[in-house]
């Protein structure tokens, strides 16, 4: 994989400082705001139906996250998403906990049916459920999927016409034709709440400045993963790791991506 | 007090990694998620009426916290709590700010009336108010209770048929018959927002794997308190203390409870 | 400027420990709670229409922040604000994102019309919009205002009959007659989410114990700014800066304000 393209894209995020409009959960929303700022982009959180359509017109990307969904919020997601589609603003959907309850699965499915989602990013269980595979989701954690994850992602991507990202020790990114594997990251990223949500925020910022959602997703996951690797180096535990994760994201340089991104084409 | 039972219970939390379903406030919810993960359990936050009954069936415990209550959330608590009662899943109620406003007092009372609460955990003022004592609550802080706290807890516990925990410099745990006093903790735990809420999360995780809510509560408060004692050692101020609190909770070993738990029977 | 008055006021906050009632956004609410505690005051967050009028009667100040506003929350702000006005409890309004969407601008305007706001604190774009100047707000960030900021603040302050604070590298505080400039602070305060919101919390705590909202605002911004300067000294990045910001606020002494406050009269 040409890391030059990846590091250039990262430099472009820093240069353009895109606004990333989030409609997201109240658990990790502060982390999403801060990782977006640390990356060099600008977050805005707005979910009132009266304003989401107007707000999204200023945004470079719209991130939808159903971590603490409710009926009103889904309506706002549909409103904002419709406007984003009209303006060709990329939408990143993080279907947190799809498979854990019918309400989550149905809401994620409804967003996929009624909006043109650009990038669907989730863990193996969430994507597996939405792709119709046998998957086991408990709470917001994935507990295993039956089948080849790459094939599940690839088939679903083709069928649904979007870029699919399955996060894990190795992240899978595919638009059905191309398959990229991202090896960056560190197990400590699983020791705190919010890394999945933050990965979606970072992906939104990259998608805002890129033409190609596959490259944008892989670059975002590599950048976030490298920050995680660096943060893990000196961490005494999960929360000092978290502090370092924001610091390292802010300190990250395009050169770090050029040298450190571990993206392969399958 | 046999610390062996306490340390075994802690090892069991780590082994079983119970799902702790929270319906809680939006102020400290991230802290609750992270302390649950640091402890070795799995948090999920879900409060939509469409999904709480389904979500709670996967949980080992349900934590209800009225820190930023609203009408809809109380309804979701009643729905989830009803299902938890049906499935014999323990419920921990943290009546944040009961006594500060009629809405908080009445809502806490309604949850106590309509659900079978397993453990009621609050500060002296909150429990005092619910127990019918003379108490003074300003905002979410306790400002004194008239009377013997142990007796108030004991009488209320008997009358209401639940385990009562009054948090403080010395925590009181009682089911009306047994009275346990937990001396662990550090004054710095009062210098940040969220330690009370986090204590309820930790209690939920222990209650999920224990048969006895009195032992579960005392073990949880001892574990959280020991993490607080360790965190205070190197802290330069309240927020570096907070970071260390999560790190120390993650680093805590059963041996630390065996040697450090200060639980006495009154 | 007499720094003695400033440091005395800070000592008074610590002594009286006023309750600061917040109706605020779910992004930075935890930061607002913790900075209020670190300062030495007591935060409470409550936004249910059933309780806000009762809660605010115990408060020394009411902080209204429209960062993630919705219709119901604005109604609660009007209810709480009406009671605060009746009881002569100062109200601090932070019109986050006014100018970014019509809903935000209109809601801020409605709060200004229907309540007697004591202190209106925002960035240049937000205040510019509300003052009728040419201003550009994207998301929640100010992107420039046409005209002399001091004059805009001064004229609007006179017209609306309140104290206006425009935050920036140099903060402007005016009641139309007096103009104070506060030079404290550090660029790193712009590298994290929530410093604007936290400044409003701190201002609320000072306003709760002061007769003069101009002095209260300048003192609050100086105190918060000095904590920021101290925190920046050893920070390795934005989030270690954030940790230090709370630690330094907690460690701040009246002497630090006496020696470090840089407030000038224009």
C94 touches chain B (CB under 8 A): no
Scan residues 185-244 of B and list those with Cβ closer than 8 Å to A: 242-244
Burial class, C266, CB count within 10 angstroms (exposed 0-12 / middle 13-18 / buried 19+):
exposed
Q: Do you know the residue count of chain B?
A: 266
Domains and CATH numbers, chain A: 3-265 (3.40.1190.20)
Q: In percent, how much of chain A has pLDDT > 70? A: 99
Predicted TM-score (pTM) of this structure = 0.97
The residue among A237, A243, A244 with the most chain B CBs within 10 A of its CB, best to mutate, is A237
On the CB side of A76, CA atoms within 13 Å amount to 26
- Identify the bridge partners of residue C120 per DSSP, sorted by sequence position: C93, C164
Tokens of C138: 């994207």
**Which pLDDT does position C4 carry in this prediction?**
87
**Which pLDDT does position B169 carry in this prediction?**
94
Tokens of B229: 């004692």
**Which pLDDT does position C176 carry in this prediction?**
97
Task: Give the separation between CA B7 and CA C42, rounded to whole angstroms.
Answer: 36
C100 touches chain A (CB under 8 A): yes
pLDDT, tens digit only, all 266 positions of chain B: 568 889 999 999 999 999 999 999 999 999 999 999 999 999 999 999 999 999 999 999 999 999 999 999 999 999 999 999 999 999 999 999 999 999 999 999 999 999 999 999 999 999 999 999 877 778 877 777 878 999 999 999 999 999 999 999 999 999 999 999 999 999 999 999 999 999 999 999 999 999 999 999 999 999 999 999 999 998 999 999 999 999 999 999 999 999 999 999 98
Of A104, A239, A240, which has the smallest distance from its Cβ to B34's Cβ? A239
Neighbours of chain A (3+ CB pairs under 8 A): B, C
The residue among B76, B247, B248, B251 with the most chain A CBs within 10 A of its CB, best to mutate, is B247
In this predicted structure, the answer to whether residue A6 has a pLDDT above a threshold of 60 is: yes
Task: Give the separation between CA B37 and CA B43, rounded to whole angstroms.
Answer: 7
Scan residues 120-139 of B and list those with Cβ closer than 8 Å to C: 138-139
Q: How confident is the model at residue A140 (pLDDT cuts 50, 70, 90)?
A: confident
**Which pLDDT does position C244 carry in this prediction?**
98
Contacts of A26 in chain B (CB under 8 A): 26, 29, 45
Contacts of A239 in chain C (CB under 8 A): none
For Cα atoms C257, C262, C264, give the angle at the middle one, nearest 5 degrees: 130
Contacts of B63 in chain A (CB under 8 A): none
Query: Are B71 and C50 spatial neighbours (Cβ–Cβ below 8 Å)?
Result: yes
A256 touches chain C (CB under 8 A): no
Note the pLDDT tens digit of each residue in A13-68. 999 999 999 999 999 999 999 999 999 999 999 999 999 999 999 999 999 999 99
**Which pLDDT does position B85 carry in this prediction?**
98
- Contacts of residue A101, Cβ cutoff 8 Å, sequence gap at least 6: B46, B50, B51, B54, B55
Note the pLDDT tens digit of each residue in C71-87. 999 999 999 999 999 99
Does A50 sit within 8 Å of C71, measured CB to CB? yes
Q: Taking CA atoms, what residue in C is nearest to B70? A: C48
Contacts of A46 in chain C (CB under 8 A): 68, 97, 101
Task: Give the separation between CA B183 and CA B168, rounded to whole angstroms.
Answer: 9
**Which pLDDT does position B138 carry in this prediction?**
82
Q: Taking CA atoms, what residue in B is nearest to A193? A: B34
Q: Taking CA atoms, what residue in C is nearest to A28? A: C27
Residue B262 vs residues A144, A238, B248, C178: alpha-carbon distances, Å: 40, 26, 18, 58
Of A180, A171, A260, which Cα lies nearest the Cα of A212? A180
**Which pLDDT does position A145 carry in this prediction?**
82
Q: How confident is the model at residue A146 (pLDDT cuts 50, 70, 90)?
A: confident
3-state secondary structure of A63: strand
Q: How confident is the model at residue A1 (pLDDT cuts 50, 70, 90)?
A: low
C27 touches chain B (CB under 8 A): no
**Which pLDDT does position B33 carry in this prediction?**
98
Of C27, C104, C138, which has the smallest distance from its Cβ to A51's Cβ? C104
Q: Within its chain, how far is the Cα of C223 from the centroid? A: 12
User: Residue C131: what are its φ and ψ, rounded to 5°?
Assistant: -85, -5
Q: Taking CA atoms, what residue in A is nearest to B73? A: A70
**Which pLDDT does position B141 carry in this prediction?**
79
Task: Using the structure block, give the residue that is written with the tokens 């009546």.
Answer: B95
Kindly report which listed range (A144-158, C221-235, C248-262) carries the lowest average pLDDT score. Answer: A144-158
Note the pLDDT tens digit of each residue in C90-133. 999 999 999 999 999 999 999 999 999 999 999 999 999 999 98
Of B199, B99, B95, B193, which Cα lies nearest the Cα of B145? B99
B75 touches chain A (CB under 8 A): no
B160 touches chain A (CB under 8 A): no
For Cα atoms B13, A239, B203, give the angle at the middle one, nearest 5 degrees: 30
- Contacts of residue C69, Cβ cutoff 8 Å, sequence gap at least 6: A48, C25, C103, C104, C107
3-state secondary structure of B98: strand
Distance from CA of A12 to the nearest CA of C (A): 19
Task: Give the separation between CA B218 and CA B222, rounded to whole angstroms.
Answer: 6
Burial class, B54, CB count within 10 angstroms (exposed 0-12 / middle 13-18 / buried 19+):
middle
DSSP assignment of C97-153? TBTTBHHHHHHHHHHHHHS--SEEEEEHHHHHHHTT--EEEETTEEEEESS-HHHHH
Task: Give the separation between CA B181 and CA B261, rounded to whole angstroms.
Answer: 11
**Which pLDDT does position B266 carry in this prediction?**
87
**Which pLDDT does position A100 carry in this prediction?**
96
Q: How confident is the model at residue C1 (pLDDT cuts 50, 70, 90)?
A: low
Query: Are B140 and C44 spatial neighbours (Cβ–Cβ below 8 Å)?
Result: yes
Query: Are B162 and C78 spatial neighbours (Cβ–Cβ below 8 Å)?
Result: no
Contacts of A31 in chain B (CB under 8 A): 30
Does A26 sit within 8 Å of B33, measured CB to CB? no
Does A46 sit within 8 Å of C193, measured CB to CB? no
B78 touches chain A (CB under 8 A): no
Residue A111 vs residues A70, A98, A107, A130: alpha-carbon distances, Å: 13, 12, 6, 11
Of C143, C156, C60, which Cα lies nearest the Cα of C108? C156
Note the pLDDT tens digit of each residue in C211-233. 999 999 999 999 999 999 999 99
Average pLDDT, chain A: 96
Task: Give the separation between CA A75 and CA A88, rounded to whole angstroms.
Answer: 20
The residue among A45, A73, A197 with the most chain C CBs within 10 A of its CB, best to mutate, is A45
Contacts of C51 in chain B (CB under 8 A): 101-104
């Amino acid at each position: 994989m040409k890391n030059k393209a990846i590091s250039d894209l990262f430099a472009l995020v820093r240069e353009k400082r895109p606004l990333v409009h989030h409609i997201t959960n109240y658990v990790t929303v502060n982390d999403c705001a801060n990782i977006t700022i640390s990356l060099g982009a600008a977050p805005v959180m707005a979910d009132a139906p009266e304003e989401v359509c107007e707000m999204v017109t200023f945004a470079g990307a719209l991130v939808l996250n159903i971590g603490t969904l409710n009926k009103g919020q889904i309506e706002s997601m549909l409103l904002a998403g419709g406007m984003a589609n009209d303006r060709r603003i990329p939408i990143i959907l993080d279907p947190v906990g799809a498979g854990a309850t019918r309400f989550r699965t149905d809401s994620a499915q409804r967003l996929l049916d009624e909006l043109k989602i650009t990038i669907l990013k989730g863990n193996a269980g969430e994507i597996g459920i939405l792709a119709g595979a046998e998957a086991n989701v408990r709470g917001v954690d994935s507990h295993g999927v039956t089948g080849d994850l790459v094939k599940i992602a690839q088939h679903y991507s083709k069928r649904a016409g979007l870029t699919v990202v399955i996060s894990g020790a190795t992240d899978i990114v595919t638009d059905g034709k191309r398959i990229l594997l991202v090896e960056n990251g560190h197990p400590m990223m699983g020791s705190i709440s919010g890394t999945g949500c933050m990965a979606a925020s970072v992906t939104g910022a990259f998608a805002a400045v890129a033409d190609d959602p596959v490259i944008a997703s892989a670059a975002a996951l590599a950048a976030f993963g490298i920050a995680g690797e660096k943060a893990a180096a000196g961490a005494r535990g999960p929360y000092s790791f978290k502090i370092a994760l924001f610091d390292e994201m802010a300190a990250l340089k395009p050169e770090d991506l050029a040298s450190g991104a571990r993206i392969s084409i399958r």
